[in-house]
Amino acid sequence: MMIFDIPFVISYISRFTQLEPGDLICTGSPGGSAIEHDPPGYLKPGDHLEVQIEGVGLLQNPIEAE
């Protein structure tokens, strides 16, 4: 769960910078992410990460080794 919702974050950032199509806004890790586990469970090659914002879209990324 986010402290501030997406419309608020976009509105706030728009006060001091002009957003353009394709700009990314990084908001941090959601609750339940790896750092909260005991032991932490970090992403590893072969994992698949999906982030979705209703009404905006779905971002899908495969995790690969450097």
Total domain count, the chain: 1
The answer as to whether 1 is a domain residue is: no
- Which amino acid does the sequence have at 50? E
The answer as to whether 13 is a domain residue is: yes
The answer as to whether 47 is a domain residue is: yes
| pTM given for the model | 0.52
Coil, strand or helix at 44: coil
Residues 6+ apart with CB under 8 A from 19: 10, 13, 25
Residue 28: closest CA among 54, 55, 9, 8? 9
Q: How confident is the prediction along the chain (66 residues), in pLDDT tens digits per residue? A: 678 888 999 999 999 999 998 898 988 776 667 777 788 888 889 999 888 888 888 989 999 998
**Structural domain boundaries, residue 34:** 6-62
The answer as to whether 54 is a domain residue is: yes
